[in-house]
Amino acid sequence: AELRAMGCTNRIGFFLHIPLPPPLILAAIPQHEWLIRSLFAYDLVGFQSEADVAHFARYVGEEAGAEALDPHHFRAFHRTVRAQAFPIGIDVDEFAALTHASDAMDMYHRIREEYKRRRLLLGIDRLDYSKGIPHRVRAFRELLDRYPENRGSATMIMIASPSRDDVHAYADLRQELEGLCGSINGDYGELDWMPVRYIHRMVARKRVPGLCRAAAVGLVTPLRDGMNLVAKEYVVAQDPDNPGVLVLSRFAGAAEQLKEALLVNPYDPQGMADSIQQALQMPLAERQARHQKLMARIKEHDVHWWRKAFMDALQAAAD
């Protein structure tokens, strides 16, 4: 908006990586009118999901009196803006190469040897309140309680890398998570089996694909996320002949694309436990079919597609 006020007339685009709230929640933000008016200074506003575009369309129609010229163009404040979903992807070839590199394969073989009598469930996140990590741990407790056959055979590796440890809310979250993990290990653990392996530190990126490949179930269950690329990385790292199963929050932007994952409500620990059990019991043929469809979509909409689609749309935007 400041550039426009200074007379800048070239095309300008904006991409929002995080979710856009529904209209009523967006309207609760102080000075929300000024915020959305400023977005109309752009020629193109990109979102992660179609749900975000729908929230934008409803808000500008109800709160700003915008005219919808078509599903993607809106006129208000004497400006026309194009709003469209551009779901961000990963560099599939780069991550696939990383998966087969020596560091990742070494990690894969070490983990498989260490846990050769276990089925691994893997969660990798920043320690952030939006990631739903305590909810995931509670769901794992529900799994052990409701499906006791998993006791002694299922292990959850929970990697929560440090995030803003100097903020009290994040310190409280860490304390809560450590308490939940300790409680599960104390209540269900055996001398030769710990249900939860919790790690609060960074894991080198070059080793992450090996961990993903070794896990029978990938747990990506944020309370809300713009996209979540870990979900896509987990799929790409899998062995197509014997792939693991992605359990994905329906509130992650990636859920719009990755429909063959098992979509869950992270606020429902019993429902999550049922889905995790389904993942652990899923036949090979179904796992292969789901993985094949997921991979095709992830390859089609990779990071290079995202860049090109956004820049092409910006180039086509009206002056």
Active-site residues, by number, are 17, 225
Buried b (16+ CB within 10 A) or exposed e, 239-251: eeeebbbbbbbeb
How far apart are the C-alpha atoms of 117 and 113, rounded to whole Å?
Answer: 9
How far is the CA of 294 from the CAs of 80, 123, 261, 263, in angstroms? Answer: 36, 19, 8, 13
Cα(275)–Cα(197) distance, rounded to whole angstroms?
21
DSSP 8-class letter at 193: B
Give the DSSP H or E segment for 81.
Answer: strand 79-85
DSSP for 207-276, written as a single string: GHHHHHHH-SEEEE--SSBS--HHHHHHHHHS-TTS--EEEEETTBGGGGT-TTSEEE-TT-HHHHHHHH
Rounded CA gap, 135 and 148, in Å? 20
Chain Cα centroid distance, residue 24: 24
Measure the CA–CA gap between 100 and 106, rounded to whole angstroms.
10
